[in-house]
Amino acid sequence: MIAPPDRIGVEDGRFTVDATLIAAAFGLSPPQARALMRDGAITSRTERGEGADEGRFRLVFFYRNRAFRLTVDGEGRILTRAAFDTGPARSA
């Protein structure tokens, strides 16, 4: 098994997350995850930290009734990661 990366890409304030990381969180293959992202079945949200969380960012990916959250710093280092249920399943 390949260890998940400990950082993500950052360029011009935009984050790039490897599909293998997202796929693993949702129990998918990387090609499945890419296709679901293209089709809009996997969505995401990015939040910028304020106050005590200044310099941190939260990236959240949603698929059906699951969410995958990464907290990263401005260099793209992954500080925390979590996957959790969000409620009743939504259709894909």
Mean of the pLDDT values across residues 76-80? 95
Share of the chain above pLDDT 70, in %: 90
pLDDT of residue 76 exceeding 50 = yes
Predicted TM-score (pTM) of this structure: 0.87
Coil, helix or strand for 19?
Answer: helix
Measured CA to CA, the distance from residue 89 to residue 4 in angstroms comes to 26
- Which DSSP letter does residue 77 get? B
pLDDT of residue 58 exceeding 80 = yes
Number of domains in the chain: 1
Q: Is residue 57 part of a domain?
A: yes
Q: Which of 56, 55, 70, 54 has the alpha carbon at shortest distance from 16? A: 70
Assign 1 a pLDDT band (cuts: 50, 70, 90): very low
Q: Is residue 21 part of a domain?
A: yes
Is residue 8 within 8 Å of residue 20, measured between CB atoms? Answer: no
Question: Residue 14 belongs to a domain with what CATH number?
Answer: 3.30.505
Alpha-carbon torsion (40, 61, 1, 6), positive or negative: positive
Assign 4 a pLDDT band (cuts: 50, 70, 90): low
Q: Is residue 4 part of a domain?
A: no
Q: Is residue 50 part of a domain?
A: yes
Q: Which domain range does residue 18 map to?
A: 9-85
Q: Is residue 44 part of a domain?
A: yes
